[in-house]
Homo-oligomer: A and B are copies of this chain.
Amino acid sequence: MSSNHSDFLNIIYCQPKAPEKEKDPLSERPPYSYMAMIQFAINSKKNRHMTLKEIYNWIEDHFPYFRNVAKPGWKNSIRHNLSLHDMFVRETSPDGKISYWTIRPEANRCLTLDQVYKPLVDTVTPTCPQIPQVGFNKQQKRGPPELKKAIPPTGGTERKMKPLLPRTDSYLVPIQLPLGQSLFLPSSSPATLATPPHAPSSSTPSSSGAIKRVRIAPKVSQMMLCASTSQDIKEEPVSVSVTPEALPSKTRQQENSSSRRKQRLVLPATEEPVLLYPDSTLFDSGVVSDVSTFQDTHDPEPEPSCKPDPDSPNREYTFKTPIKSSHPSSSTPSKLPAVLEPWRITPVRKGGVLDFSPIRTPSGPQLTPQRHEHTPFSFNSTPFKELPLFSSPRELLTCSRPSPRRSNATCSRELLQEGATNRSLTEGLVLDTMNDSLSKILVDISFPNLEDDDLGMANISWSQFIPELK
């Protein structure tokens, strides 16, 4: 667990095999979910909308990992996320030619990368991942072991990234502490692989096989600021005020709680959901004021960071030119029964390289990726979920048109401030009808005394200082 020294360990464990790939600290997988990164990307544009291609580029530019090590399937994931989360909406240019992706304003928390970038990398941590853990062997995914690609120090990603607080969804609690560094660095922190943050906590150290789990990203994605709104009412609405001093030693863990949240709660049966909760005086608890680095207040104008800032012809037009080929193989992974000579035979075990190789043979090759092994076997536990999103119920109640203003309200003021405003009955039905948006509480707790490295196994449980959370 003693961080650092990882350099040494790396040398030992990282067989000269596999020509780097992950080695470059800049090419480490960022601790953000695709949903979060897409938001970073889109919000970096003043127009607040981007074409798919621009999103790809923005992400590659800011997170070398995707350009250098990620499998081509990452683009499929981006598309998947755009479609899946209704927070992302596709619009079409007036001329119907191009279509961009935007963030539903009512749901836009205006997450931007610079908000999570750590001002400075004060720690001495070599930022070298891999933990001593036993084998640290193969098994993970690793893109094909080839194509170095001369990782250009492309602008961004210099500062250490501050991961979004994982699993943060505690309701109604716009918390914001002193603001320090990161609380927990999922993927890059050497402690990550040490022991599953939570894990069975029992036979954990049993055998060997540090498989390098894929570390599921925070889950948040649309937090980081304030904006609460009960939503999914009926469940003990609590207002809390965190006292950082109280926390024991755990660093990461559950941020929310209350019986697997996300539910539409009971109702003795066909009963009318009688909204019953404090109403207001709930959202002002958090600190949310000293939000230094946060810039959301008014007109979500430009973006301090994000030098590239596409929009300029250039990126968009690398289009048809097969030149830009960061990675050869194309997006959507497929497994067409037929057509697969190209690779097929080569049992490219571990890291199947795929860059410089044959330029996409016309009829999508794609060797059947050697299906997993199929042999689950394991036993685990369970968790909770987020909440629907909504488009300002007040307006609906007013029987007026949905978006009186909207032009320059890119970062929905509601989400950021309308904390404990009037919430009515309709919410019970309206709110839990929508998706990813509200209900996500923006919590950005930072404990100055905790550095990214010394987060071995620390666990912070809201319930520890928030009794109301049951």
Contact = CB atoms under 8 A, between A and B. Distances in A.
Contacts of A365: 377-378
Nearest to A407: B270
Interface stretch (A88-96, A159-167, A458-466): A88-96
Interface in A377-436: 377-380, 382, 385, 388-391, 396-397, 399, 401-403, 406-408, 425-426, 428-430, 432-435
Interface residues of A, number: 119
A335 B401 contact: no
A303 B331 CA distance: 45
A51 interface: no
Q: How many copies does the complex hold?
A: 2
A221 to B, nearest CB: 16
Q: Which residue, of A335, A364, A378, has the highest number of chain B Cβ atoms within 10 A? A: A378
A12 interface: no
A467 interface: no
A199 interface: yes
Interface string A263-283: 111111110110000000000
A25 interface: no
Contacts of A207: 338-341, 344
Contacts of A434: 388, 433-435
Contacts of A151: none
A428 to B, nearest CB: 6
A403 B429 contact: yes
B373 A377 contact: no
Interface string A294-309: 0000000000000000
Contacts of A262: 83, 90
Contacts of A375: 144, 329, 343, 348, 352-354, 366-367, 369
Q: Which residue, of A99, A143, A376, A403, has the highest number of chain B Cβ atoms within 10 A? A: A376
* Those 6 A-B pairs whose CB atoms lie nearest each other, nearest first: A366-B378, A364-B378, A402-B429, A364-B379, A370-B373, A352-B375
